[in-house]
Amino acid sequence: MSQDSRFIVLTGVSRGLGRALLEELIERGHVVAGCARSAERIRELSERYHPNHPLDTVDVANFADVESWAERIIAERGAPDLLINNAAIINRNNPLWEVPVDEFSDLMDVNIKGMFHVTRAFLPSMITAGQGIVVNLSSGWGRSTSADVAPYCATKWAVEGMTQSLAHELPSGMAAIPLNPGIIDTEMLRSCFGDGANCYPGPESWANKAADCVLSLSSRDNGRPLTV
Ligand SMILES: NC(=O)c1ccc[n+]([C@@H]2O[C@H](COP(=O)([O-])OP(=O)(O)OC[C@H]3O[C@@H](n4cnc5c(N)ncnc54)[C@H](OP(=O)(O)O)[C@@H]3O)[C@@H](O)[C@H]2O)c1
């Protein structure tokens, strides 16, 4: 392993941007601990990457599960150098007054509370280590708005606010950064754009640029809203 190899925790690795970034970071020689809910996809990835890269079935909305995952990962590998909160869901396109109550609640649980849970579980070890970068996946819809995705917009504006507040709190030498990935053809994009998602690049070409971006971040970027 090269001296520049970093230990990275990444949520939402089963498909889309998280999966492509997992593969790109591993390809570049970094060690990645990842999670998602889909047991089948995690099993497939584990067959490829175990034991060097621990991949686990964890629902970020469940703090008890996140906490025991983090305790085990930190005990085995130490504090992460880079914590990337990528896992998220989007509401089915609907005007706000037609969004099912449970669906709205799920978005808050995963996109906001899930990000908090993972940060709550891993960040103290990074602070003790005196270094580390937290990257929270935001969205164009964390800085602008559109019809039919109000719950999702609400969560991504929350991500921007939570991350920039956290940036004020971190000790010097660390950073928290809200990162808009751009527009990429994934299952999430297909949910809101339908076939229009075809016009956008796929996750694999995105992952190359995204890896350059996240690996170049430093404490100088603390609190800066960035875009891949
Ligand atoms: N694609 C875009 O154009 C775009 C634009 C702006 C922002 N983003 C942001 O980029 C990130 C990735 O989006 P994507 O397009 O790759 O979405 P995606 O294709 O739907 O993938 C989402 C990933 O998150 C995981 N996930 C969802 N809920 C989870 C939970 N409760 N616990 C653990 N993992 C969970 C999913 O796995 P499981 O279902 O197996 O749990 C999946 O691996 C998100 O934060 C999204 O908001 C994407």
Domain boundaries, the chain: 7-227
pLDDT at res. 53: 98
Model confidence at 1, pLDDT cuts 50, 70, 90, reads very low
- What is the whole-number distance in angstroms between the Cα of residue 169 and the centre of ligand 1? 27
The CB of 36 under 6 Å from ligand 1? The reply is yes
CB 152 within 8 A of CB 141: yes
Does CATH number 3.40.50.1820 belong to domain 7-227?
no
Q: Encode pLDDT of 78-130 as tens digits.
A: 999 999 999 999 999 999 999 999 999 999 999 999 999 999 999 999 999 99
Model pLDDT for residues 14-31, shown as the tens digit of each residue: 999 999 999 999 999 999
User: Atom 23, ligand 1: which residue's CA is nearest?
Assistant: 12
DSSP H or E run through 124: helix 115-129
34 lines ligand 1 (CB under 6 A): no
Distance 70 CA to ligand 1 centre (A): 20
Q: What is the pLDDT of residue 133?
A: 98
Burial class of residue 27 in the structure, from the number of CB atoms within 10 Å of its CB (0-12 exposed, 13-18 middle, 19+ buried): exposed
Asked if residue 50 has pLDDT above 90, the reply is no
pLDDT value of residue 3: 56
Confirm whether pTM is higher than 0.95: yes
Residue 208, SS3?
A: helix
Going by C-alpha positions, the residue among 52, 51, 53 that lies closest to residue 13 is: 53
Question: What burial letters (b/e) apply to 33-53, b meaning 16+ CB within 10 Å?
Answer: bbbbbeeebbeebbeebeeeb
Does residue 188 have its Cβ closer than 6 Å to ligand 1? Answer: yes
- Interval 123-176: pLDDT, tens: 999 999 999 999 999 999 999 999 999 999 999 999 999 999 999 999 999 999
